[in-house]
Structure 1
Amino acid sequence: MTWKCPCDLLGGHSLDPGEVWMCSTFSSGVPRYKHNKTGSILINSLCLSNGGIFLETYHPRFIQKLLQDGGLLSPLLLRLMNFFFFSRGLGAVFGPHTQPSQAEFWDMWTAVRNNDGNLVMDSVLQYINERKQHSDRWVRALVSTSVPLHLIYGPLDPVNPHPEFLQLYRKLLPMSTVSVLDDHISHYPQLEDPTGFLNSYLNFINSF
């Protein structure tokens, strides 16, 4: 079983049975796809959201930078991580008016800790290094694809800040349509403005 990025599908690669495709180019992608008779998958459209698509405008959080190296410090940091630090760090990438409730933070923390998942976060964050390694190929797939593309963007995102991220996106992907949500929406628009996110997505898929 191999792990790959669905961006490669945009370049014409079909998904073979036994392959698992993992997108580490962006934090949220909503592909529309169909199976053909051979068991392969063809993507018909792709809706992107706030994520580090472009290295030039991507600003990972400080703790992510520390953990992505996977050095001797990582196991210590992960064992020192608790609900307080987790909720503070995660809350920093939500808008000030769209913060999760304490109960929601606890649900997220419980999910992360399931099966000691909090102790392998440094491995999960290797997607940052993979993004650097495969950036040219994945961005080239987006630039060259013929399938409909759409971006739903929260402009208060500190990880992919406005306006530089959006300017580069529109420059490199002029064929893509874009929905910019309200000014107070940040890195997780699907959670911070689920209605606006859903309406933007439905408008996109109903446009072709």
Structure 2
Amino acid sequence: MRYADWIAGGERVELDGHRLFVRQEGEGRPVTLLHGFPTSSHDWAWTVPSLVAAGCRVTSLDLLGFGHSDKPRGHRYSIHEQADLVEALWGRLGTGPTMLVAHDYGVSVAQELLARDPGRLTRTALLNGGLYGDLHRPVPVQRLLHSPLGPLFARLTDEKRFVAGLRGVLSRPVPDEVLHDMWTAADHQNGRLLAPRLLRYIDDRRVHFDRWSASLERYEGPLLFVWGPEDPVSGAHVLPRLRERRPEATFTVLPGVGHYPQVEASEETAEALSAFLTAP
């Protein structure tokens, strides 16, 4: 599904003074999908149909500062605020216990939600992300955007540079039109200028390392990791610790896949998530 069609199928919902883009599809077990940096909920466009067919009620949203959600300038973005907004959305929708799927930036939001109320999350699936801050390896573009030169570099970013950065974390081929849609989402309302502020999540991961590590390791619900080992940011080097700390979890490791399993290996990822989320 192209990005314009994805947007046409959702709505903007006001939560805590911000308007967030939200989609809901299907009937059955509730599941919420959280996307990563620097893209949007459209990353899940190839996953949602399989989850709906498997009997899930799927909620996806663009987090604050991303995609078609509000992108306030001068705002202090934080993982805690994003978790507040997810909880506010659940309250608006009347969502009680729910399953959760998260990727990249979204895994930190998921860890904060796990720290707050782990019993609410009946099943949790996590895709390539910085679950342990000390294992997170930002690529050069991220380090530059996170530096004092970040605002200047953000202003100089165009689609060509953005796509080159994405290709640096992908392993399997991704069609040009998909990468163009990723850029369209990121740059909506000049969103590229927010990258240095959004990247403060790297600092959040360091500050809250103990809290978020514990939330992952103490979670008692069923847990799935869908992982692209070729990811230079959060790839194969993360798996040994995950296997050590969560040996009872289910692991779906996708050979030859990089940072975006749901985009690079959409069928395999959708199959793994569908089976996990609908298990007895």
Provide TM-score, normalisation by structure 2: 0.59
Amino acid at match of 2:268: G
* Percent identical residues: 29
Distance 1:17 1:175, change over 3 A: same
Q: How does 1:60-139 map to 2 (within 5 A)?
A: 60-69=138-147, 71=148, 73-95=149-171, 98-139=172-213
Please tell me whether residue 169 in structure 1 is matched to residue 242 in structure 2.
yes
Query: What's the Cα RMSD here?
Result: 2.9
Aligned to 1:195: 267
Aligned to 1:56: 134
- 1:160 pairs with one of 215, 234, 240: 234
Q: Does the residue aligned with 1:47 lie in a helix, a strand or coil?
A: strand
Aligned residues: 183
Long gaps (5+) in structure 2: 1-15, 17-79, 93-100, 111-118
Question: Deviations along 1:18-50, whole A, 9 cap, x unmatched?
Answer: 8xxxx9994455x8xxxxxxxxx9211100011
Distance 1:202 1:16, change over 3 A: closer
Long gaps (5+) in structure 1: 10-14, 32-40
For residues 217 and 196 of structure 2, the distance between their equivalents in structure 1, rounded to whole angstroms, comes to: 30
Distance 1:113 1:25, change over 3 A: closer
Higher relative contact order (CA 8 A, sep 6+): 1
Deviation at 1:205, TM superposition (A): 2.2
Verify the 8 A CA contact 2:102 2:127 in the aligned structure 1.
no
For residues 104 and 152 of structure 2, the distance between their equivalents in structure 1, rounded to whole angstroms, comes to: 28
Question: Deviations along 1:43-78, whole A, 9 cap, x unmatched?
Answer: 111000111111232111112112224x2x222111
Question: Deviations along 1:139-191, whole A, 9 cap, x unmatched?
Answer: 101111111111011111111232x311111111122111111x211110000
